[in-house]
């Protein structure tokens, strides 16, 4: 495992070797997290000179890419429009795996439970039907026989199994994209928060018009800038007043009664639609080398937590945090209802309709933004990075992202 200064050391080396002309780049990426790392990979792969500016050390728990794992699935209950993007995302994750010879995607399948005629389950069915995806209707008794760990699920509920689904190792994905980007020549700068930016319409950069970006340490110019700043997007794009709300979320890790029954290879990913708008979800216990320091059975609740400002989030854990997932264990998975091993906080950045924003800035033609991933964006990072690279280099993308444009809010 690399130490925390790994990216900075290599970057310092690259800067000395590359003789950067007056801090000028083809593209500057603001925010080196989920989407920014992927964008840096795709742009640098095409030979572009890229600078990534990250306010913290690379890979951290303060934003949205901490916490070991993220679900990935195709039969998308949020909206069937996401399915084409997901198909491409799966391909791109596979490419990352084959290029690096590292495993980031684990296909465990996802087992869903819900009341008869549950809206979330019905939307999964709809996406699968519209896009001809694999989805199995399981008798609840069969599901419980196969996985008695769910023996608290009421007997009149339904269950669905999506086989081509599972989880991604979130920090490892970001780390690999950053590493690949660096090897392709990108410059990565940690601890360099972007404070302001302005668009130049005059010949002030070596490329003519472009964008000037200011941090506490330096000023940089580029043909274009891409904002992938997650929970910190709003102050950077004040001119747009992007409708984003940041919420504090928690993830828990517990000790089940029979550890081995819940481990990878014995237990799938799962989702329980408890009532309108509440989805409990979780992943199996991972092999120790993949845990990112959090051992145990992981679970979370997909429901917006309290609205917060990203720089003043209370990271202390309280009784309500524990209660947010304990209810699920008590009701539905009593065999997993053991000691809490750890709890972590994480941030959602939500749009009013919970669909992402991926667009060109309507007023500044050299600015591109990707934000508002509303607690379900990570699985798309591999396609969002590619889309951002296309928008930056060609001004357009082949991917169907019209439904994610900013204009729906203005
Ligand atoms: C608890 C939880 C569970 C989730 N579960 C899932 C799941 O199962 N499946 C799924 O697909 N998605 C899931 N998500 C959502 C997913 O993780 C996010 O949608 C995704 O990580 C958002 O990526 P991002 O690049 O926008 O933000 P981040 O990954 O947070 O990256 C933004 C980066 O920008 C940096 N930055 C911000 N401002 C500046 C600045 N001014 N200067 C320099 N750097 C700056 C930040 O420090 C940060 O590193 C979950 C999220 C949470 C919190």
Task: Measure the CA–CA gap between 294 and 302, rounded to whole angstroms.
Answer: 20
What 202-211 contacts at long range (C-beta under 8 Å, 24+ apart), as own/partner pairs, is: 205/24, 206/21, 206/22, 206/24, 207/24, 207/26, 209/366, 210/366, 211/28, 211/364, 211/366, 211/367
Task: Centre a 10 Å sphere on the Cβ of residue 154 and count the other Cβ atoms it contains.
Answer: 10
Task: Measure the CA–CA gap between 39 and 410, rounded to whole angstroms.
Answer: 26
Is the CB of residue 115 less than 8 Å from the CB of residue 158? yes
Q: How far is the CA of 225 from the centre of ligand 1 (A)?
A: 18
* pLDDT-flagged residues of the chain (< 70): 1-4, 13-22, 201-208, 276-277
Among 58, 62, 63, 108, name the best residue to mutate to test ligand 1's pocket (greatest count of ligand atoms within 8 A of Cβ).
63
pLDDT confidence of residue 6: 77
Q: How far is the CA of 261 from the centre of ligand 1 (A)?
A: 31
DSSP string, 336-390: G---EEEEEEEEEEE-TTS--EEEE-SS-TTEEEEE--TT--GGGHHHHHHHHHH
Q: How far is the CA of 78 from the centre of ligand 1 (A)?
A: 18
Atom of ligand 1 at shortest distance to CA of 375?
15
State the angle between helix axes of 381-394 and 170-183 in degrees (0 to 180), rounded to the nearest 10: 30
CATH for 6-64+172-242+357-409? 3.50.50.60
pLDDT confidence of residue 200: 75
Judged by DSSP in three states, 225 sits in: strand
pLDDT confidence of residue 13: 66
Task: Measure the CA–CA gap between 228 and 70, rounded to whole angstroms.
Answer: 19
Q: Where are the domains of the chain?
A: 6-64+172-242+357-409, 107-169+244-350
- pLDDT tens digits along 330-353: 999 999 999 999 999 999 999 999
pLDDT confidence of residue 205: 53
Q: How far is the CA of 67 from the centre of ligand 1 (A)?
A: 11
One CATH from 3.40.50.720, 3.40.50.300, 3.40.50.10490, 3.30.9.10 for 107-169+244-350 = 3.30.9.10
Q: Which segments of 46-162 does DSSP mark as H helices, in order?
A: 83-100, 119-130, 140-146
State the angle between helix axes of 83-100 and 381-394 in degrees (0 to 180), rounded to the nearest 10: 100
| Parallel, antiparallel or unpaired: strands 278-283 and 269-275 | antiparallel
pLDDT confidence of residue 18: 55
Show Cβ contacts of residue 8 under 8 Å, excluding neighbours closer than 6 positions.
57, 188, 189, 190, 191
Q: Which residues' Cβ are closer than 6 Å to ligand 1? A: 30-36, 53-56, 63-65, 67, 70-71, 193-194, 228-230, 232, 236, 249, 251, 300, 346-348, 371, 373, 375-379
Among 67, 195, 229, name the best residue to mutate to test ligand 1's pocket (greatest count of ligand atoms within 8 A of Cβ).
229
Task: Measure the CA–CA gap between 379 and 349, rounded to whole angstroms.
Answer: 15
Two tokens, residue 93? 């994750």
Q: How far is the CA of 96 from the centre of ligand 1 (A)?
A: 19
Show Cβ contacts of residue 157 under 8 Å, excluding neighbours closer than 6 positions.
113, 114, 115, 116, 140
- Nearest CA owner, ligand 1 atom 13: 376
Among 4, 284, 343, 377, name the best residue to mutate to test ligand 1's pocket (greatest count of ligand atoms within 8 A of Cβ).
377
pLDDT confidence of residue 16: 60
Atom of ligand 1 at shortest distance to CA of 251?
1
Is the CB of residue 277 less than 8 Å from the CB of residue 324? no
Among 4, 28, 34, name the best residue to mutate to test ligand 1's pocket (greatest count of ligand atoms within 8 A of Cβ).
34
Q: How far is the CA of 401 from the centre of ligand 1 (A)?
A: 19
- Nearest CA owner, ligand 1 atom 47: 55
Residues in the chain: 410
CA distances (Å), 208 to each of 39, 201, 339, 363, 400, in order? 23, 8, 60, 18, 31
The residue assigned the tokens 């004040």 is 238
- Nearest CA owner, ligand 1 atom 27: 230
Nearest in space to 263 (alpha carbons), one of 297, 227, 301, 217? 297
DSSP string, 21-62: STTEEEEEEE--SHHHHHHHHHHHHTT--EEEE-SSSSS-SS
Q: Which segments of 166-239 does DSSP mark as H helices, in order?
A: 170-183, 233-236
């Amino acid at each position: 495992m690399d130490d925390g200064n790994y990216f900075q050391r290599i970057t310092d080396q690259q800067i000395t070797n590359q003789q950067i002309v007056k801090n000028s780049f083809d593209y500057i990426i603001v925010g080196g997290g989920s989407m920014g790392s992927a964008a840096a990979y795709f742009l640098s792969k095409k030979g572009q000179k890229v600078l990534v500016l990250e306010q913290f050390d690379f890979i951290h728990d303060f934003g949205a890419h901490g916490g070991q794992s993220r679900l990935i699935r195709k039969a998308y209950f949020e909206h069937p429009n996401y399915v084409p993007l997901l198909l491409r995302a799966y391909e791109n994750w596979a490419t990352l795996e084959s290029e690096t010879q590292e495993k980031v995607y684990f296909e465990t399948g996802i087992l869903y439970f819900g009341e008869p005629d549950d809206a979330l389950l019905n939307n999964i069915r709809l996406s699968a039907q519209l896009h001809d995806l694999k989805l199995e209707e399981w008798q609840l008794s069969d599901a419980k026989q196969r996985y008695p760990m769910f023996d608290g699920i009421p007997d009149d509920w339904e269950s669905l199994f999506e086989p081509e689904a599972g989880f991604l190792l979130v920090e490892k994905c970001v780390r690999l994209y950053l590493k690949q980007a660096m090897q392709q020549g990108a410059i990565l700068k940690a601890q360099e928060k972007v404070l302001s930016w302005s668009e130049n319409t005059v010949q002030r950069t070596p490329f003519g018009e472009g964008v000037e970006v200011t941090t506490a340490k330096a000023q940089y110019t580029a043909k274009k800038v891409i904002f992938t700043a997650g929970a910190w997007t709003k102050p950077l794009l004040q001119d747009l007043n992007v409708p984003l709300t940041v919420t504090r979320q928690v993830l828990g890790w517990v000790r089940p009664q029979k550890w081995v029954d819940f481990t990878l290879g014995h237990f799938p990913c799962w989702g329980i639609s408890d009532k309108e708008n509440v989805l409990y979800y979780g992943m199996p216990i991972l092999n120790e080398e993949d845990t990112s320091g959090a051992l145990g059975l992981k679970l979370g609740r997909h429901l917006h937590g309290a609205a917060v400002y990203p720089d003043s989030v209370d990271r202390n854990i309280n009784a309500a945090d524990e209660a947010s997932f304990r209810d699920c264990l008590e009701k539905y998975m009593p065999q997993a209802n053991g000691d809490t091993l750890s709890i972590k906080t994480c941030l959602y950045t939500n749009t009013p309709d919970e669909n992402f924003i991926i667009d060109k800035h309507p007023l500044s033609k050299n600015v591109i933004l990707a934000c508002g991933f509303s607690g379900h964006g990570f699985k798309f990072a591999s396609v969002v990075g590619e889309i951002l690279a296309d928008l930056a280099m060609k001004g357009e993308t082949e991917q169907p992202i019209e439904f994610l444009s900013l204009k729906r809010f203005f």
